[in-house]
């Protein structure tokens, strides 16, 4: 089993306080707390108090039906995937989502919370660009169709790239559009 990706302490404390870490990351934080890491404990305490204050100050709202439906489908798929020896996601029921980058959509295939990774398809339209971003965990990218230019290299169908944990990924762009299969840390693209 791969070691969990551990973000910098300040980020780690915030993620711990909000319950946003994978099980492996949470266990690593708790091990540090048991060893007496008082700085980390203090940061977690600060974020926990802030989180509690925010949750008390906010009025609950119902999400729009489309968001609630999409989220519940992902939760059901995640639960079903963990209960079954095989997990299938058929193309005709696929849900592609906008990811906040012009010309880019993603389709989550599987989220493995135990290992702290997710597998997804990324479709970029011609001329699209993914901005530079850090990798807290290793990222693997397989080009299914089209082209990408990243880290000074042009990749085409069948080409593969692995970015190690702790690296900074340059801007990635496509001239003609592409479809990529990516495996990355859960926090990398969420």
Look at residue 121 in the predicted model and tell me its pLDDT.
Answer: 95
31: enclosing H helix or E strand:
helix 23-34
- 143 in any annotated domain: yes
Do 46 and 108 lie in one domain? The reply is no
- 50 in any annotated domain: yes
- 64 in any annotated domain: no
CA pair distance 127, 155, nearest whole angstrom: 15
Number of structural domains, the chain? 2
Do 100 and 153 lie in one domain? The reply is yes
Predicted TM-score of the model (pTM):
0.58
pLDDT in tens, 111-130: 887 788 899 999 999 999 99
pLDDT at 3 over 50: no
- 1 in any annotated domain: no
- 79 in any annotated domain: no
- 84 in any annotated domain: no
Which residues, 6+ apart, have CB-to-CB distance to 128 below 8 Å? 101, 102, 103, 104, 173, 174, 177
Do 34 and 105 lie in one domain? The reply is no
Do 107 and 177 lie in one domain? The reply is yes
Strands (DSSP E) contained in 21-103 are 97-98
Do 181 and 133 lie in one domain? The reply is yes
Look at residue 79 in the predicted model and tell me its pLDDT.
Answer: 58
Span 157-176, average pLDDT: 92
Look at residue 126 in the predicted model and tell me its pLDDT.
Answer: 96
Do 111 and 174 lie in one domain? The reply is yes
CA distances from 8 to 49, 117, 129, 134, 139 (A): 20, 18, 27, 12, 18
- 82 in any annotated domain: no
Domain of 128, CATH number, reads 2.60.120.10
Say which residue the tokens 């968001």 belong to.
Answer: 67
The residue range of the domain holding 19 is: 9-57
Do 27 and 106 lie in one domain? The reply is no
pLDDT at 142 over 70: yes
Backbone angles phi, psi at 87, to 5 degrees: -120, 130
- 105 in any annotated domain: yes
Asked which of 22-31, 72-81, 160-169 is least confident by mean pLDDT, the reply is: 72-81
Do 48 and 106 lie in one domain? The reply is no
Do 52 and 121 lie in one domain? The reply is no
């Amino acid at each position: 089993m791969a070691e969990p990706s551990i973000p910098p302490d300040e980020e780690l404390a915030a993620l711990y306080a909000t319950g946003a870490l994978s099980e492996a990351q949470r266990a690593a934080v708790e091990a540090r707390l048991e060893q007496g890491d008082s700085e980390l404990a203090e940061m977690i305490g600060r974020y926990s108090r802030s989180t509690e204050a925010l949750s008390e100050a906010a009025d609950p709202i119902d999400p729009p039906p489309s968001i609630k439906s999409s989220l519940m489908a992902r939760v059901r798929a995640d639960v079903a995937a963990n209960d079954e020896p095989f997990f299938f996601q058929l193309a005709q029921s696929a849900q592609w989502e906008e990811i906040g980058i012009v010309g880019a959509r993603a389709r989550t295939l599987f989220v493995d919370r135990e290992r702290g990774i997710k597998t997804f398809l990324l479709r970029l339209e011609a001329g699209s660009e993914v901005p530079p971003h850090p990798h807290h965990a290793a990222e693997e990218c397989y080009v299914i169709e089209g082209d990408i230019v990243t880290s000074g290299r042009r990749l085409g169908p069948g080409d593969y790239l692995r970015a190690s944990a702790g690296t900074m990924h340059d801007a990635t762009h496509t001239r003609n559009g592409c479809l990529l299969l990516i495996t990355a840390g859960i926090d990398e693209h969420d």
